[in-house]
Amino acid sequence: MVISCRARRAREEPQFVTARAGEAVVLGCEVSHPPTGSQLAYVVEWFRSGMSMPFFISFRFYPPHVDPEYAGRAMLHGVASLRIEQLRSEDQGWYECRLLMLEQQYDAFYNGSWVHLTVTAPPTFTDTPPQYVEAREGGSITLSCTALGNPKPVVSWLREGETLGDSEKYKVSDGRLTVVSVLREDGGVYMCRAHSPQGEVVHTTRLLVQGSPHIVKPPLNITVNISQNAFFSCQAEAYPGNLTYIWFWEEDNVYFKNDLKLRVRILIDGTLIIFRVKPEDAGKYTCSPSNSLGLSPTASAYLVVQYPARVVNMPPVMYIPKKMTGYIRCPVDANPPVTWVKWEKNGLPLRLEKHPGWSLMKDGSIRVTEVTEDSLGTYTCMPYNLMGTSGKSPPSTLVLKDPPYFSVRPGAEYRQDAGKQLLIPCAASGEPEPPTITWRKIVSSSGLVSCTGRKA
């Protein structure tokens, strides 16, 4: 691109030229000698508005004088034109070409000519936030982005493709973005965009929110058979991610349970493994991840252990009152529930149909409508469920005892003045241990009070 500047007695109209930063431009200044046709010696000078001294001076074959700002970039092009390479945004401005004739006098403006150079430049960042920025949950964070270019670029902030503007959550001004009351969901990628007709540049920053863990995969209820291994998964997310997991059985740390601590393991991803489960391991298990920031969340699930029906705590002696309804019980523990109980009496299978008034209850107990001497004997029971049985119970001997009876009965009626103490006697006897005595008041017009004696 060439702009001519002819030496003449009247100043030419200003010329305008536009070039892009990084490119080269030629500011032309052509020389026309006086009409006499003689070639006069002259000096080429280039001035820039705001500079009192020429930044470029050239005279014949001597090396030109060049200001340090233009060193290596400014040189003559042709007779008097000026070529500027590697244009910078700061090169923009007014330039003047002057020719100084050494052997003839001309007026002061004989050789003057003005050129305005406009240097366009795509946006470039001069200040950007780090690639990763940390913020505490509940606090605020400000991200700053500055860009230069010609024309001046517009700086905006985007998240997930949406331009951010002033709101309760975001404050945007002059390339600054403030995230107010940072929440976990505010974490992610934020994009700073500087754009102008000359192009655009973008810079991304990932906001990392420091806070307590968040459970993303809570444990689920599981059912396993006895002696199998149980697995509870529990996964959490947090920043920083130095997570540790604690597991609880009911309210106790699993490592503090004597029978459990040697059979559990907690993996680095939060998984709890219970080896060779026992029926006693059933219950609620709670996962609690922590990274030492804020409160640790919790999530719970239940372990169900299936096992064959078994007899627990069968008493060596069973006491049943004579001539009353009694129950010969088989203390069963089973999961799934018991489906049938096989009884033996004195080492032989017990056939209930041969005993009038005897029946098998749903829980496996035998109901005897009226207990007599015929009930005496040694009993064993063997419970079953869908998983089978754990075997026969220890023998239990049935012993008949007299039912409780009153040794002292309350009177039929008592009278006492209001505000005074009234003592009503009541005592009972029985075997194998004294019966429990309870009182209840029968609400009626007469205000009766009854005493009841029963075995514990």
pLDDT over 70 at 347, yes or no:
yes
- When pLDDT is averaged across residues 362-371 and rounded to a whole number, the result is 92
Give the per-residue pLDDT at 108. Answer: 40
pLDDT in tens, 156-174: 999 998 999 999 999 999 9
Question: Quick check: is 62 in a domain?
Answer: yes
Domain boundary among 276, 302, 328: 302
pLDDT in tens, 204-219: 999 999 999 999 999 9
pTM, two decimals, is: 0.62
Q: Is the dihedral of CA 370, 374, 376, 381 positive or negative?
A: negative
Angle (CA) 110-114-117 rounded to 5° is 160
Nearest to 163, CA basis, from 188, 202, 192, 137: 192
pLDDT in tens, 285-305: 999 999 988 889 999 999 999
pLDDT over 60 at 7, yes or no:
no
Give the per-residue pLDDT at 60. Answer: 81
Please give the structure tokens belonging to residue 183. 């929440």
Please give the structure tokens belonging to residue 291. 């990274």
Give the per-residue pLDDT at 107. Answer: 44
Size (the chain), residues: 456
Number of separate domains in the chain: 5
- Give 427: exposed, middle or buried? Use CB within 10 Å, 0-12, 13-18, 19+: middle
In sequence order, which residues have a C-beta less than 8 Å from that of residue 212 and are 6 or more positions away? Answer: 137, 238, 290, 291, 293, 294, 295, 296, 297
- Residues 143 and 235 both lie in one domain: no
- Residues 20 and 99 both lie in one domain: yes
pLDDT band at 2 (very low <50, low <70, confident <90, very high): very low
Q: State the CATH number of the domain containing residue 151.
A: 2.60.40.10
Question: Quick check: is 116 in a domain?
Answer: yes
Which residue segment(s) compose the domain that 153 sits in? 128-210
Question: Quick check: is 307 in a domain?
Answer: no
Q: What are phi and psi of 21, to 5 degrees?
A: -55, 140
Give the per-residue pLDDT at 454. Answer: 53
- Residues 116 and 20 both lie in one domain: yes
- When pLDDT is averaged across residues 65-92 and rounded to a whole number, the result is 92
- Residues 81 and 138 both lie in one domain: no
- Residues 409 and 397 both lie in one domain: no
Question: Quick check: is 273 in a domain?
Answer: yes
pLDDT over 80 at 444, yes or no:
no
Give the per-residue pLDDT at 105. Answer: 56
The mean pLDDT value of the chain amounts to 88
Nearest to 192, CA basis, from 164, 170, 168: 164
Question: Quick check: is 5 in a domain?
Answer: no
Domain boundary among 210, 236, 266: 210
Give the per-residue pLDDT at 109. Answer: 39
Question: Quick check: is 236 in a domain?
Answer: yes
- Residues 297 and 331 both lie in one domain: no
pLDDT band at 4 (very low <50, low <70, confident <90, very high): very low
Give the per-residue pLDDT at 291. Answer: 92
For tokens 């993303």, the residue is 216
Nearest to 333, CA basis, from 248, 431, 417, 226: 226
- Residues 107 and 20 both lie in one domain: yes
Distance CA 77, CA 97 (A): 13
- When pLDDT is averaged across residues 334-352 and rounded to a whole number, the result is 95
pLDDT band at 102 (very low <50, low <70, confident <90, very high): confident
- Residues 115 and 22 both lie in one domain: yes
Distance CA 268, CA 155 (A): 44
Nearest to 382, CA basis, from 279, 308, 311: 311
Question: Quick check: is 275 in a domain?
Answer: yes
Give the per-residue pLDDT at 136. Answer: 92
Question: Quick check: is 70 in a domain?
Answer: yes
pLDDT over 70 at 342, yes or no:
yes
Distance CA 358, CA 398 (A): 15
**Spatial strand order in the sheet of 176-179:** 141-144, 176-179, 170-173
- Residues 238 and 203 both lie in one domain: no
pLDDT over 50 at 112, yes or no:
yes
- Residues 367 and 327 both lie in one domain: yes
pLDDT over 60 at 446, yes or no:
no
Nearest to 30, CA basis, from 10, 12, 8, 7: 7
- Residues 94 and 165 both lie in one domain: no
- Residues 434 and 338 both lie in one domain: no
Please give the structure tokens belonging to residue 202. 């973008």
pLDDT over 80 at 365, yes or no:
yes
Domain boundary among 210, 225, 250: 210
